Amino acid sequence: MYTARFTELNEIIAGLYPALKQAAAHNTAWTSMANHQRAIYLVRVGAMTALSTLDFKLQQATAAAGTGAKDISGKAITQLTQAGGDGSETCVVELRTEELDVDGGFDYIRGVLTVGTDTVYCEVIPIKFAANHPPVSTSAITEVVD
């Protein structure tokens, strides 16, 4: 699909904007995978303050409200730590819909970013792709320049 726009085939969805995140769990919105076959979550980490840690994982649910939420097996990054020199890192978590519990009715996903002790400057950019029926929604995009 050489002539297709990136934004016609790949749906950028609401993530976590770049900011200094306090010690807590920070969740992206639940999003349905019903019209897509794949998704990636880009986790970009900047400065990590003393003793800080960062974890990220994907969860699945049966509804947009998070009904029956549970972790998706194997879809978590190795913990990043300030002590390990992990600032200025990029991690990517990829997901195929067949990795969801589709028999159990799970087709919603979200990312869970957990900052342990202290603070971390970071962001999460989720992108759904391999759409069943392109073009995809561009509602989360402010401007597309061709």
List, for residues 4-58, the tens digit of each pLDDT value.
Answer: 889 999 999 989 999 999 999 999 999 999 999 999 999 999 999 989 999 999 9
Note the Cα 13 to chain centre separation in Å. Answer: 9
DSSP reduced 3-state for 137: coil
How is residue 28 annotated by DSSP?
A: P
Report the greatest alpha carbon distance in the chain.
48
Give the predicted TM-score (pTM) of the model: 0.93
Count CB neighbours of 109 within 10 A: 27
Report pLDDT digits (tens) over 117-145.
899 999 999 999 999 988 888 888 899 88
Encoding tokens for residue 41?
Answer: 């979550």
Note the Cα 71 to chain centre separation in Å. Answer: 13
Taking a C-beta distance cutoff of 8 angstroms, is the pair 131, 35 a contact?
yes
H or E element at residue 39: strand 36-48
Given pLDDT bands bounded at 50, 70 and 90, which one contains residue 110?
very high
Distance CA 136, CA 62 (A): 22
Domains located in the chain, CATH noted? 6-130 (2.60.120.380)
